[in-house]
Structure 1
Amino acid sequence: MISLPRRALVLPVLAALALSACAPPEPAGTNGDTASLTVLTSFYPLHYIAEQVGGEEAEVSSVTPPGADPHNLELSPAKVAELADASVVVYASGFQAAVDEAVEQTSPKQTIDVADAADLSPAAGRGGNSAAKDGTGGSRDAGGADPHFWLDPQRLAAVAGVAARRFSEIDPQNADVYKANAQELGQELASLDVQFTTGLADCERRTIVVAHEAYGYLADRYDLEQIGISGIDPESEPAPARIAKIRRVIEGQDVTTVFTESLVNPKVAEVLAADLGIETALLDPLESLADPGEDYLSIMRENLAALRGALNCG
């Protein structure tokens, strides 16, 4: 074996390090390893928007874990610290108190509050499409706007446009990418809107009985009436008078299905349906995503199929 002096081994290593240090850095987002933006979102629909608009230029994460209920989210100190480190935080003010407080405390570099772009409506008195004004309890527990805008594809498209504009301001080098991604997503959401409009145009019934009143915007868009077992907050307990009213609606309008949700205890819905001899089916409010094999578009299409079956649409 030939033994080289220690100096002969070290010099090539030092030369390689020097060349590496002198080499110009590779532009962010071009090698697939480094994203131009680190985007922190507050819950799944905003995570979906950020991923679609940001594409390969954005590293997107969420403070709400997959499969968790975002309504009553609590943030650990580590999660709060993440807000300060992100390039931009995307959230909907008024929906998650813990996120609103964390944004105020940490003063992130950039924030995108989508509440205005979503054109939110009051939680109560939504033009007759919910049980809010019947005095049976549960609908007025939100104390403000209905946050579930994403179940209306047109509202979600408007939010995507705002995200693209703000991403472009923060990272102008990739503005064309964000604009093109938002346009492509807008086309997909427009197609989804057409599918819902035509799919729900000719139905025997137009009333949906749901686990909680998450479907007001969907009902407004497609001329449906939602009756919620619980109000905007899925954890609110329905009053006996509310349950009695729902029973009368089911019997009076020949409702055949009570819709349950994966994140809400189905017991009340199942007991109600069993007492009346009708079925239960799953309608996903898309507040969280538990199955990585699904996404917003696929779940919304599953929702459409469930609605068509329950409403007996032609």
Structure 2
Amino acid sequence: MKRRSTSALPRPRAALLGLIFGVIAAPALAAPRVATDVAPVQSLVTQVMAGVAEPSMVIQRGASPHSYSLRPSEAATLENADIVFWVGDELTPWLTGALDNLAGNADSVALLHTDGTLRHGFRDRVLAEAGHDGHEGHEGHEGHEGHEGHEGHEGHDDHEGHDDHEGHAHEGVDPHAWLDPVNAQHWLGVIADTLARHDPANAERYQANADAARDRIDGLIRQVRGELEGVHDEAFIVFHDAYQYYERRFDLNTVGAISLSDARDPGPAHIAEIRDIVAERDVQCVFAEPQFNPAMVDTVLSGTGARTGVLDPLGSEIPADGDYYTTLINQLSERLVTCLSAG
């Protein structure tokens, strides 16, 4: 007697079994394909997506985001994205057109523009009279819902209402907002909510990951406050006016910037003014940046007793993973303390 092959089952029965096993074996819906602009944003998204998928980054490490030409592979990343998380056109004005042309169907989230983000006005320069007292009032801080208890919220009112910097700022928002860890905490929630809308099956995981990351940043804020405790009054110059979010959060004494917030080259008059500030304000350190020509730092330092260090708002040498953001904030504090306390 011949054994009947399962492949010869009557068609209705075979179809039924195929339906049953097809339902059982059906793969879960794919997670959203996510693109990010710069490493700080990629790190925050990576933390929220942990255990689900990994985001891609479209700007090459070590390059200045203020002006950039997309490679074909980076353009393809945008074309394939379901969601794009980016800081905003204040940081990458060229990316607006690329998003329109390449990622028109993607959900584009400009984190700097989200309600609850603490924003500071764009500065032409940092002057000596600014120091601790030159911080203008901030804009756009509607509150971080659900995080009222975070220690990082302390001190928002310390810098409001000062007019010392009046006349030196122009319209616009400084885009380097990730350097305030409280903004990073807020953005984690925005990222989790956006991902959950696209991928409800993993919504609980996204929220749990964001909550854990916010708790880690609470600890980071406390740690960095302690590390910087002894250098609040030490005057320093930065290469690129990219650090005011960090300065304000941790009450630091920046008295000058060689370049502007959007990285435009300074003129000879501004370089001369910075040299005068170094001499008059007993500036301890002048910080270079790896993305820009160090020759201007050498010009400012020439003939002075100031030391030099390196600060990088994008942490170009830090591995681009979930730990990147914590490492970036720690690296800034370590380098500031090393240079400012060496005298």
TM-score, shorter chain, exceeding 0.5: yes
Alignment-mate amino acid for residue 74 of structure 2 = K
- Counterpart pick for 2:241 among 196, 206, 213: 213
2:121 aligned partner: 122
- 1:172-205 CA-to-partner distances (Å, cap 9, x unmatched) read 1111111111111111111111122222233263
1:193 aligned partner: 221
Structure 1, gaps ≥5 residues long = 1-17, 29-34
Question: Given that residues 89 and 108 in structure 1 are in contact (C-alpha distance below 8 angstroms), is that contact kept between their aligned partners in structure 2?
Answer: no
Structure 2, gaps ≥5 residues long = 1-16, 127-132, 137-163
Question: Given that residues 196 and 206 in structure 2 are in contact (C-alpha distance below 8 angstroms), is that contact kept between their aligned partners in structure 1?
Answer: yes
1:147 aligned partner: 175
1:40 aligned partner: 35
TM-score (norm 2): 0.74
Offset at 1:108? 2.8
Distance 2:318 2:327 in 1: 13
Give the secondary structure class of the aligned counterpart of 2:98: helix
Distance 2:318 2:340 in 1: 27
- Counterpart pick for 1:92 among 87, 92, 96: 87
Distance 1:301 1:290 in 2: 11
Offset at 1:146? 0.5
Change (3 A) 1:289 1:99: farther
1:24 aligned partner: 25
Distance 2:166 2:70 in 1: 34
Question: Given that residues 128 and 225 in structure 1 are in contact (C-alpha distance below 8 angstroms), is that contact kept between their aligned partners in structure 2?
Answer: no
2:106 aligned partner: 109
Question: Given that residues 204 and 311 in structure 1 are in contact (C-alpha distance below 8 angstroms), is that contact kept between their aligned partners in structure 2?
Answer: no
Give the secondary structure class of the aligned counterpart of 1:40: strand
Change (3 A) 1:204 1:114: closer
Give the secondary structure class of the aligned counterpart of 2:85: strand
Give the secondary structure class of the aligned counterpart of 2:105: coil
Distance 2:317 2:41 in 1: 12
2:332 aligned partner: 303
Change (3 A) 1:292 1:156: closer
1:14 aligned partner: none
Which portions of structure 1, spanning 4 or more consecutive aligned residues, are displaced by more than 6 angstroms?
A: none
Identical-pair percentage = 28
Query: 1:150-161 alignment to 2 at 5 Å?
Result: 150-161=178-189
Distance 1:92 1:309 in 2: 30
2:152 aligned partner: none
Offset at 1:304? 0.6
2:209 aligned partner: 181
Give the secondary structure class of the aligned counterpart of 1:57: coil
Distance 1:37 1:263 in 2: 32
Distance 1:229 1:248 in 2: 12
Give the secondary structure class of the aligned counterpart of 1:275: coil
Q: Mean alpha-carbon deviation: is it higher for 73-82 or for 125-134?
A: 125-134
TM-score (norm 1): 0.80
- 1:36-91 CA-to-partner distances (Å, cap 9, x unmatched) read 12110111111111101111212310110122221102224553343232121111
Alignment-mate amino acid for residue 310 of structure 1 = C
1:12 aligned partner: none
- Confirm whether residue 285 of structure 1 aligns to residue 313 of structure 2: yes
Offset at 1:160? 1.0
Offset at 1:292? 5.1
Question: Given that residues 38 and 57 in structure 2 are in contact (C-alpha distance below 8 angstroms), is that contact kept between their aligned partners in structure 1?
Answer: yes
Cα root mean square deviation, aligned: 3.2
Offset at 1:291? 4.4
